[in-house]
């Protein structure tokens, strides 16, 4: 059993490598001092805060503890679990990924290896691995402490990985992350400005693509998929974005949803509505608005709720409903559910509404 003493420094205190994550440093610290990672992390929890807590105050306490017993600069490293408090949706905490070639060179785990969309090494053009290529056992922190698979003993650096030409998204992620000095504030700034944008592109297109492929869009199944499968899906999306097929993808997904469910367009868009309305979702929001206003012939008799249109176009709640009742009551759609009009009437309605509103202009 390992008992962590907060008033004593560890016997061996490796210097931090500013390219690595705080989690990587903890793994190296346990390895250097001959501890099992499970015992080492339990000692951290006992003397500080829960080892896997996302709370900033807990992360600060853990970083302070490690700085006292090891390298003073350990707290300056990017803490992936602290990032999760603000950007949990961008990270994959269900696995530890690594490029065998990168790991062989420095024996560290950079923070961006935890990003969901980082699946291919931009330097070595290899698919990252998260399990033993010999026995398929998932890697955990203890695997990197021992530097080999905990089941069959195959060394991490001896694992086979699939060669893969990086797509634009993969290379963009690699270039962005490789150019950033590894401190938490700079990394979080990079995430909020750049990585978030990549994530929105991927999530929106993935949602549409799964509708066309009749896959479950709602179940949290990512943790059950291997990296090769995740990368194949991501590669399909990269090609669509690169080839300028986003508008066609959205149209096909909406058409497929209508045929299959018969529900309103808002029911389909709701799960990704916040993404569309975000700063980085403006492209898809514009495509959707254009599709509604242009009103493809096969969408013409599809009802669309006005309360949802108001949110999409940032119109004051109930303004459109009141306007229709006061001026064009005959275009109200005769259907169940919230007040609606048919898509074919939406262009006319918004044109007329814009003539009577100071704040709204037809997109």
Q: What is the pLDDT of residues 52-62, one digit of tens each?
A: 999 999 999 99
Q: Is 104 within a domain?
A: yes
The tally of domains found in the chain comes to 2
Do 44 and 171 fall within a single domain?
Answer: yes
Mean of pLDDT values over 90-102? 96
Identify the H or E element spanning 252: helix 246-261
Q: How big is the chain by its Cα radius of gyration, in Å?
A: 25
Residues above pLDDT 70, as percent of the chain? 95
Residues with Cβ within 8 Å of 55's Cβ and at least 6 positions away in sequence, in order, are 49, 85
- Please tell me the predicted confidence (pLDDT) of residue 3: 54
pLDDT at 216 over 80: no
- pLDDT tens digits, residue range 255-272? 999 999 989 999 999 999
- Please tell me the predicted confidence (pLDDT) of residue 5: 59
- Please tell me the predicted confidence (pLDDT) of residue 218: 47
Q: Is 226 within a domain?
A: no
Q: CA 184, CA 171: separation in Å to the nearest integer?
A: 22
Task: Give the model's confidence band at 4: pLDDT under 50 very low, under 70 low, under 90 confident, else very high.
Answer: low
Residue 349 belongs to domain spanning = 268-363
- pLDDT tens digits, residue range 181-210? 566 788 888 888 889 998 998 899 999 988
- Please tell me the predicted confidence (pLDDT) of residue 223: 82
Half-sphere exposure of 301 (CA within 13 A, CB side): 5
Do 165 and 288 fall within a single domain?
Answer: no
- Backbone phi, then psi, for 193, in 5-degree steps? -95, -35
Q: Is 239 within a domain?
A: no
Q: Residue 342 forms beta bridges with which residues?
A: 303
Do 185 and 98 fall within a single domain?
Answer: yes
Q: Is 245 within a domain?
A: no
Q: Is 216 within a domain?
A: no
Q: Is 242 within a domain?
A: no
Do 276 and 179 fall within a single domain?
Answer: no
Q: Whose CA is closest to 21, among 225, 182, 224, 192? A: 182
Identify the H or E element spanning 340: strand 340-342
CA dihedral sign, ordered 147, 150, 153, 156: negative
Do 33 and 169 fall within a single domain?
Answer: yes
pLDDT at 169 over 90: no
């Amino acid at each position: 059993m390992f008992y962590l003493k907060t008033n004593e420094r560890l016997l061996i205190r490796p210097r931090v490598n500013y390219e690595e994550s705080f989690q990587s440093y903890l793994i190296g610290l346990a390895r250097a001092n001959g501890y099992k990672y499970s015992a080492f992390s339990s000692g951290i929890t006992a003397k500080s805060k829960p080892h896997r807590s996302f709370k900033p105050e807990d992360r600060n306490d853990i970083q302070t503890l490690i700085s006292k017993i090891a390298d003073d600069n350990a707290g300056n490293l990017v803490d992936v679990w602290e990032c999760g408090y603000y950007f949990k949706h961008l990270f994959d905490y269900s696995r530890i990924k690594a490029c065998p070639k990168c790991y062989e060179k420095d024996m560290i785990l950079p923070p961006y290896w935890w990003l969901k969309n980082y699946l291919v090494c931009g330097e070595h053009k290899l698919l990252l691995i998260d399990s033993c290529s010999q026995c398929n056992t998932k890697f955990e922190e203890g695997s990197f402490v021992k530097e080999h698979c905990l089941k069959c003993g195959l060394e991490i650096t001896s694992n086979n990985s699939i060669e893969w030409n990086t797509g634009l998204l993969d290379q963009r992620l690699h270039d962005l992350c490789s150019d950033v000095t590894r401190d938490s504030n700079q990394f979080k700034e990079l995430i909020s400005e750049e990585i978030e944008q990549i994530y929105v592109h991927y999530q929106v297109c993935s949602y549409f693509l799964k509708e066309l492929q009749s896959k479950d869009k709602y179940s949290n199944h990512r943790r059950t998929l291997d990296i090769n499968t995740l990368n194949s899906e991501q590669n399909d999306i990269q090609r669509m974005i690169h080839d300028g097929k986003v508008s066609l993808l959205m149209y096909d997904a909406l058409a497929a949803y209508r045929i299959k469910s018969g529900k309103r367009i808002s029911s389909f868009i709701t799960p990704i509505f916040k993404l569309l309305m975000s700063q980085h979702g403006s492209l898809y929001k514009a495509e959707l608005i254009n599709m509604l206003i242009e009103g493809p012939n096969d969408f013409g008799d599809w009802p669309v709720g006005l309360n949802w249109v108001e949110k999409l176009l940032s119109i004051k709640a109930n303004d459109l409903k009141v306007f229709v009742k006061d001026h064009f009551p005959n275009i109200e759609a005769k259907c169940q559910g919230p007040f609606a009009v048919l898509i074919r009437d939406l262009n006319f309605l918004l044109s007329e509404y814009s003539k009577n509103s100071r704040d709204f202009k037809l997109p």
